[in-house]
Amino acid sequence: MMKASSVLRAAAAIRYCLEEETVLSELISAEAKSWIGREAEPIRVEVSRRDIVKYSIATEQRQEKYLRGDEAPSMFMFGALRPVVPMDTLGPDGIAAESFLPDLPLKRVMAGGTEMTFHRPVKPGDVLIATRSLHDLIEKQGKSGPLIFVVQILRVETEAGELVLEEKQTRIFR
């Protein structure tokens, strides 16, 4: 049987959690939360040998198949899917304004992590369709203040619908 003091402690802990939850949940608005599950407009990418060769040289690849551009290194798609937008849409920091993101109260971004699953190599001539979706928005209390983890799922397929790559990317707003 639970002692009265333990019950009180447990109740206090629950109350604390609830209060924290209340405070934290104000950080991500209902409007922002409604974005979870939303999909961005798919991006179509034609993979060229020359782009693979450039990426392979810049990343100091050692395997001939990459340096010749016969196959793309695993991380090639990260660059191939970056936004290519007009100059006047770039901010003073050089970064393209992000359209596929709800309004969040925290603005500074850090790279979080990435989890990639590879299904098929990328080769020159491939025409790929990449779809990004907002998987989750998570609030956490960091050492130096509140954090919002933005988790996106990226799915890359060939035009014929063959799965190429799945990636779960986390970015941290602080």
Binding site for another protein (CB under 8 A): 51, 54-55, 57-63, 73-75, 78-79, 82-84, 90, 93-96, 110-118, 170
| Nearest distance, CB of residue 8 and another protein, angstroms | 39
Instruction: State which residue, 33 or 101, has the beta carbon closest to another protein.
Output: 101
39: tokens are: 């999909």
What stretches of 34-169 show up as alpha helix (H) in DSSP? 49-58, 64-67, 76-80
| Nearest distance, CB of residue 86 and another protein, angstroms | 12
CA distance 129 to 151: 20
Instruction: State which residue, 29 or 51, has the beta carbon closest to another protein.
Output: 51
Phi first, then psi: give them for residue 37, nearest 5 degrees.
95, -10
CA distance 151 to 133: 9
Instruction: State which residue, 44 or 62, has the beta carbon closest to another protein.
Output: 62
Instruction: State which residue, 14 or 90, has the beta carbon closest to another protein.
Output: 90
| Nearest distance, CB of residue 79 and another protein, angstroms | 3
Q: Which helix (H) or strand (E) holds 30?
A: helix 30-33
